[in-house]
Amino acid sequence: MSTKHDTPLFDKKIILNAVKDSFKKLNPAYLIKNPVMFIVGIGAVLTSIIFVMDVVEKNPTSFDLQIAIWLWFTLLFANFAEAIAEGRGKAQSKNLRKSRTNTIARKLIGKEEVKVSALELRSGDSVLCEVGDLIPADGEVIDGVASVDESAITGESAPVIRESGGDRSAVTGGTKVLSDRIIIRITSNPGETFIDRMILLVEGAKRKKTPNEIALSILLSGLTIVFLIVVVTLKAFFNYYHITLSQDISVVSVPVLIALLVCLIPTTIGGLLSAIGISGMDRLLKHNVIAMSGRAVEAAGDIDVLLLDKTGTITLGNRMATELVPTPEVDENYLADVAQLASLADETPEGRSIVVLAKEKFGIRERHINELNAQFIQFSAKTQMSGVNILSPDGSPTRMIRKGSLEAIKKYISEETNANISAQSDYMFTQMIGVDIAMAGGTPLVVVENKKILGLIQLKDVVKGGIKERFEQLRKMGIKSVMITGDNQLTATAIAAEAGVDDFIAQAKPEDKLSKIREEQAKGKMVGMIGDGTNDAPALAQADVGIAMNSGTQAAREAGNMIDLDSSPTKLIEVVEIGKQLLMTRGALTTFSIANDVAKYFAIIPAIAVSLFATNGLNGPLSVLNIMNLASPQSAILSAVIFNALIIIALIPLALKGIKYRPEGAATVLKRNILFYGVGGLIIPFIGIKLIDMLLNYLKFV
């Protein structure tokens, strides 16, 4: 895993840029998007105007000035939290911007090659790329196979293979061809490339509020209205008190009421809400995962069911020949020789692995097709066979060699000889061994020469290391894992047992994946899907969280709402953890913020009300509620304003890093959340305001 995307929590350059952006975000057009901070902004402006008017009237007070300053700080600190989160995203995108190049592309017009700027390419154009060429834009390989350096995107130095006609055909603009020659069909227009979209998303420029954020913003706006009514009512109450008892109420000036309102509304979570969302996407990028929306990150935290493709996801992908099993009367070396001959015209990874196995395990050198007087039968999906006819000088076949699935070979022999081979001993042996191979998670292929069965080849798709432990972690998180494969029931059962998945669907078609997702969603479940092929695209689009492998097809990448740059399906563990971490962080800080507001209410109001119903210049009966024994009403309100501003700064690291996630039940998490952040949110303001009050009076600021 690359460390390219790791950025220090507080980088000097990021902090300096964030300070500048904090002032830029004071623009009312921007502030109005956050109702809570917009109210704070209005309060800061009004308090500043009142102080200026007092200066003009030659009756200024340092108290009003301090309130105005700290209200502006509250606003700037909230802007700073968001700006530093965005700044970290911009730092992450630095290398991505470097990979955007205006290269010269070799555009194909018919059979002619024309050199054009990459910016002139449009979707549907075809370009030629050879060794050393930078791929000019996103596209799909339509001809050839090549080794490609994708380190500019993934951070990994190891080259990857990109080829036509499969699930490894997608290429990304800015990556480099290291070998061979490929023709690419462009799939994006300038400004719409994968890198362009990544940059915008990483920097937060295209981040939209998630449904949860919108709902929370509405709740915070409602609380703000409630406390606005409280403060206005308080002013009316003090006015009545003044008229009735003819006592001084200068303590309830407009700046004081504004400061009180700012302290009571949920400014803490209001100032940190955007930073929490942006940092969630940033943490995903550290794991080389691009989220196409904040909603996808949130949904990842709520996943109940995860659907995974077997091939390339749970297993390494290409089935490899691992063993040869001859019939009793056939020599193993002879079987290896014939199996290799039958695979020379098979260009599939399975076919090539048979040639390699015969060479490495049995010492049989690879033949060159041109040296053989032979007629080759290429592998096709329709026949499920490949083979060769060794010809005599007169052109008649002397050896007819075939390799294929058990059913395909049975059909081939029966059609050629008009015989029922089911009762033959060789066939019965082959069928029995084939069942054993399938039950062990392998795929059997049968080798025949001149209609006689020689033995079997065992193909095995190897389960990725450590994936069983990963599925156990998912289980602890309450997530059900379902493997989907086109393999038969026996093979699927063996792989499922080895991988440790909760359930599986065998012999699945693309529509089966879609049907399973809809079935689970109908039960109210949140469904995640991992895939890399074009046939996975409908399911990826339907799933609540669709994670597309970067190594897969363009269709899959377009359909998913997350892209794994490392193409590692086990990355899902980190994705889920980050999603849950995001939800927990937002919930914890919301709990802390509201608890803060409650504490500040009971800390400030009694201090302000000590003079109510007082006689003979003494404290009134409400003074007993002033349990903190704050020095004066002015000191109480100023201490609360300062605490309200500083707590935003203090919580920025937590908003950026997130709360550590542990695989626990919801009840346990909720209990800890309430005890730590709820009770803590009630206690900390009392301590903080008291300490600030003591410091202000020591410094004689009030």
Token look-up 């020949």 returns: 321
Give the Å distances, CA to CA, from 142 to 5, 111, 145, 486, 596.
32, 15, 9, 25, 61
CA contacts within 13 A on the Cβ side of 356? 12
Sheet holding 527-531, edge to edge: 289-291, 562-564, 545-549, 527-531, 305-309, 480-484, 503-505
Strands (E), 347-415: 374-377, 385-391, 397-404
Say how many residues make up the chain.
Answer: 702
The set of catalytic residues is: 309
Helices (H), 206-266: 211-245, 254-264
The first and second tokens of residue 239, run together, are: 């006015």
Give the Å distances, CA to CA, from 343 to 15, 338, 350, 358, 441.
61, 9, 9, 10, 22
Token look-up 């409400």 returns: 622
H/E element, 666: helix 666-673
417 three-state secondary structure = helix
**3-class SS shares of the chain: helix, strand, coil, % to 5:** 55, 15, 30
Contact yes or no for 653/15 (Cβ under 8 A): no
Token look-up 């003079």 returns: 611
Q: Among candidates 686, 659, 663, which has minimal Cα distance to 588? A: 659
Q: Distance between alpha carbon 323 and the CA centroid of its chain, in Å?
A: 39
CB burial string 394-415: b at 16+ within 10 A, e below: eeeeeebbbbbbbebbbebbee
Give the span between the Cα atoms of 688 and 702, in whole angstroms.
17
Contact yes or no for 455/325 (Cβ under 8 A): yes
Contact yes or no for 390/373 (Cβ under 8 A): yes
Give residues with Cβ within 8 angstroms of 238, minimum separation 6: 249, 252
Q: Among candidates 353, 306, 315, which has minimal Cα distance to 441? A: 315
List beta partners, residue 545: 528
